Amino acid sequence: MNARPVERVCPLHHRDPFRQGWSGLLLVLGLLLIGPGCTLLRRDPTPGRTTFDAPLSSVPATLTANTLMVELTWDKFGPWRFLVDTGSSVTLVSPEFAARYVTATPTTQTPKVNVRSASGETTQLTGVTVRRISVGEVRFDQVPALIYDFTELSDHFGERIDGVLGFPLFRQTVLTLDYPQSRILLTRAAGSSTLQPGARISFDTTTKTPLIPIDLDGQTLVALVDSGSDGGLHLNPVGLTTRFLHGPVPGGVLATLSGERSQELGRLNGLLKVGAYSLPNPVIDMTDELSSIGGSILRNFVVTFDQLRGEITLFRESLAPIVSPALRSAGLSFKRTPAYWRVVAVIPGSPAERAGVRVGDLVTRIDDEPVAVWPLQRYETRIAQADVIDLTFLHGRDETILTVPVFELVP
């Protein structure tokens, strides 16, 4: 059998599952959280047949960690919970979902797909073909996918995740991510001008992910539009002139599929323009990979992707500048389980470090409630609003309550 060309793939990533209200930026899990750093995949990621049962399909979504999650049901099984990730050029499914819907049960002889992370390390995932995925009134048949265990990502969100819907799945549709109303819309891609208002930006249709030009202080660069990222602007500064109002400062560790990298965070002294919209002095996460725009920026818009025409449309009621809020943090990052959260990083110089918190410490309660009742959204809201947070640490059989100040990592 002839080998297919190697293709770059950028699956879902989250900079920091416990982003501390957009501030901690310390990542935890060794998940399939491959940020602007990409992977390699030997597989054709384009879907098979797409069938429309209605001219317009509107599917409610949940906005968690600046990512849109949809709950899908089309038969007596499910519901199935998927994240919508335009930064991924492949669809990912859980072993449980694969067992129900793949065309043939994977065996030890089933080919494995080599996936390379931003750190350069390689792991293997099983490639399969999914018989069916239905998103509202739109049915996708014979969908190429990779099997991935979402247990840790589910623990991170505090709810079950069954898969990630990658960008090529929607190539025969016009996909709209309506962040303000927490929904996704699907219509048939007709190749003609749509009626969607807003600023239109062209992207290269030969790529399997949307790469668009953006402007930073008159300097043009290419960025991935990545709905699978909870962050704002991941910026590769090579070849650019950058000025900072604050930082850059260490922000912890970014986890990838098989490696980690340290973060540098800061607030630029300059103007970011995306289409007709401006973001003065944006908060950025420095990267040596591809620059990208994530959910904390996209959530201000209704974003429409027309892959047939190679256009992205951004719509917002106002053309007023978009202000990037401060990144607030408790100075800690965790690997989360239902029973406890294990500290995996402590921000240098933070109040938590000065209080003696160390990597490996276990947190069992937050504000005197078990960690099991703290889903991601609730924790983020608490950090965004609180001046302090009470964490109960377990040392042997003894529990100790520590009041940890919340601070602005990047003002």
Q: Which of 14, 50, 144 is nearest to 90 (CA)?
A: 144
CATH 3.20.20.10 fits 328-410, yes or no: no
- 385/378 Cα distance (integer angstroms): 11
Helix (H) or strand (E) holding 264: strand 260-268
Q: Which of 161, 162, 98, 106 is nearest to 132 (CA)?
A: 98
Q: Three-state DSSP class for 252?
A: strand
pTM: 0.84
Judge contact between 367 and 398, C-beta under 8 A.
no
Give span(s): CATH 2.40.70.10, the chain: 204-297
Q: Which of 191, 207, 169 is nearest to 82 (CA)?
A: 169
Judge contact between 56 and 186, C-beta under 8 A.
yes
Judge contact between 155 and 90, C-beta under 8 A.
no
For residue 403, count CB atoms less than 10 angstroms from its CB and return exposed for 0-12, middle for 13-18, buried for 19 or more. exposed
CATH number of 204-297: 2.40.70.10
Q: DSSP string spanning 52-120?
A: ESSSEEEEEEEEETTEEEEEE-SSSS--EEEEEETT-SSEEE-HHHHHHHBSS---TTSPEEEEE-TTS
The DSSP 8-state label assigned to residue 385 in this structure reads H
- 254/16 Cα distance (integer angstroms): 7
The pLDDT of residue 3 is 35
Distance of CA 86 to the CA centre of its chain: 9
- 29/259 Cα distance (integer angstroms): 10
Give span(s): CATH 2.30.42.10, the chain: 328-410
Q: What is the pLDDT tens value at each position of the chain, 411 positions in all?
A: 333 333 334 444 433 322 332 222 222 222 333 333 343 333 344 557 999 999 999 999 999 888 999 999 999 998 999 999 999 988 999 999 999 999 877 766 666 777 655 445 677 888 999 999 999 999 999 999 999 998 888 887 778 899 999 999 999 999 999 999 999 999 998 755 555 678 899 998 787 889 999 999 999 999 999 999 888 999 999 999 999 999 899 876 655 444 556 678 999 999 999 999 999 999 999 988 899 999 999 999 999 999 999 999 999 999 999 999 999 999 988 888 889 999 988 999 999 999 999 999 999 999 999 999 998 788 888 998 999 999 999 988 899 999 999 999 999
- CATH architecture group of domain 7-173: Beta Barrel (2.40)
